[in-house]
Amino acid sequence: MSSLRVLPEFRSMVWGNSKINEIFQIELKEPVGEIWLLSGHPLYENRLEDGRKVNEFGQRLYNGKYQRFPILIKLVSTNQWLSVQVHPDDWFAKEFENEPWGKSEAWYFLSDGEFAICEDAEKMIELAENGKLDKMSEILTFVKVKRGTFVNIPAGTVHALGPNSTVIEVQQSSDLTYRIYDWGRPRETHLEKALKVSKNIGCSEIIYENAEKLVTNYFVMEVKSFSGTFSSDVSLPTISIPLEINKDFSATINFERTFLRNNLYVYDFLK
Active site residues: 179
Residues 223, 264: Cα–Cα separation, whole Å: 8
Q: Across the beta sheet with 141-145, what order do the strands follow?
A: 141-145, 113-118, 158-161, 84-86, 178-181
Burial of 245 (C-beta count, 10 Å sphere; 0-12/13-18/19+): buried
Adjacent-strand bridge partners of 257: none
Residues 75, 266: Cα–Cα separation, whole Å: 11
Decide: helix, strand or coil at residue 90.
Answer: helix
Complete DSSP assignment for 196-234: HH-----GGGTEETT-SEEE-SSEEEE----SS------
Exposure b/e, 31-70, CB count within 10 A at least 16 = b = bbbbbbbbbbbeeebbbeeeeeebbebbbebeeeebebbb
Burial of 184 (C-beta count, 10 Å sphere; 0-12/13-18/19+): exposed
- Cβ(206)–Cβ(106) under 8 Å? no
Residues 104, 224: Cα–Cα separation, whole Å: 23
Residues 127, 119: Cα–Cα separation, whole Å: 14
